[in-house]
Structures are given as C-alpha cells and as structure tokens.
Amino acid sequence: MKDASSRHESWDLVILDPPKLAPRRKCAFQVLQSASGMYRNLNALAMQITEKGGLLMTCSCSGAMTQSGMFLRTLQGAASMAGRNITVLRQAGAACDHPIDPSYPEGAYLTNYLLRVM
C-alpha cells in the first residue's frame, strides 16, 4: 500500500483484512494501544489508496479491538491521519457459518465495516 500511495495509485474498492493484531480480549492496555496504532496506520494507508467516493471494506479479527469498542474510533483516527472523511455504510460481524455461543461471548471477535471514503 505504501508503494501504491507513493505512486498516487487508487482504487474504487479496497479490502483490508489484516491478521489478528491484539492477541486476546483481556490483553494489557499497552498491547491494545499498540494494536490500535497498527490498525490506524494500516487503515490510513488503505484510505489513501481508496478513490474519493470509493469503498473501503476493513476487517478485524482481534477480539480485544471488537469487544473494547475501539475499532470504530481507530478508523476515525485513521481517516483524520489520512486527511479523509468516512461514512459507515455497514457494520457486520461473522457470517452465519460462524455462529456465536451466548455462553462464550469471546466468540464474537470478527468485525467488518464498509466505509465510503471521501
């Protein structure tokens, strides 16, 4: 993404699905802050290569980000960092092939946002 951004390349649709960056729900505050910074940097790059008016589908499989509610705030920080504005078009979790057991809330760790990037 850095190379694409430096060449001023952009796309109408960008999908960002990084690996798990925060290891667990009850991780230390410093680990969660570090993961938030990594998600912010990755999403800022993705927003830079998304055409104005284009779509960014961004995902997190880090339960600590999802369950802390930090992911959306991190995305807003990424937009600010990238000098872009975002609108949430859709927020979703796991598909029906990944059911969540109510007795195990940690199973609700998948999150994705469909964003319009301006």
Residue count (the chain)? 118
Query: Cα separation of 5 and 42, whole Å?
Result: 12
Q: What is the pTM of this model?
A: 0.90
Note down pLDDT in tens along the chain; length 118 residues: 999 999 999 999 999 999 888 766 555 677 788 889 999 999 999 999 999 999 999 999 988 888 888 999 999 999 999 999 999 999 999 899 988 899 988 888 899 999 999 9
Query: Cα separation of 118 and 110, whole Å?
Result: 25
DSSP annotation of 20 reads P
Query: Cα separation of 110 and 66, whole Å?
Result: 7
Host H or E run for residue 74: helix 70-82
CATH architecture of 2-97+104-117: 3-Layer(aba) Sandwich (3.40)
Q: Where are the domains of the chain?
A: 2-97+104-117
Instruction: Please state, in angstroms and as integers, the Cα–Cα distance from residue 94 to each residue in 11, 20, 91, 99, 112, following that order.
Output: 26, 15, 11, 7, 8
Query: Cα separation of 57 and 115, whole Å?
Result: 6
DSSP annotation of 8 reads T
